[in-house]
Structure 1
């Protein structure tokens, strides 16, 4: 949330970097079921598209 608030968007690959890997070495994939990860990535991509418009 902090990253999105500060930057307005976030690349989905960040979900596999710190601080997410600080919680689980697999990043977001280790924290949520695959269907949820796909939905999170979809939302991040939608935010990115809308921020660029």
Structure 2
């Protein structure tokens, strides 16, 4: 058995399963959610905050 505690850096694959993100699109979506949340009534904002 191979009981090594650490792996060598050349054995580690960090690119498999990695996603490419469009930061501008993510920021726009978050801003849109903030705007929609501000338009909701107070009781719905409180409900969504706690639950």
TM-score range, shorter chain: 0.3 to 0.5
TM-score by length of 2: 0.39
Which structure's relative contact order is higher, taking Cα pairs within 8 Å and 6+ residues apart? Answer: 1
- From the CA coordinates, give the structure whose radius of gyration is larger: 2
TM-score by length of 1: 0.38
Q: Which structure has more helix as a fraction of its residues?
A: 1
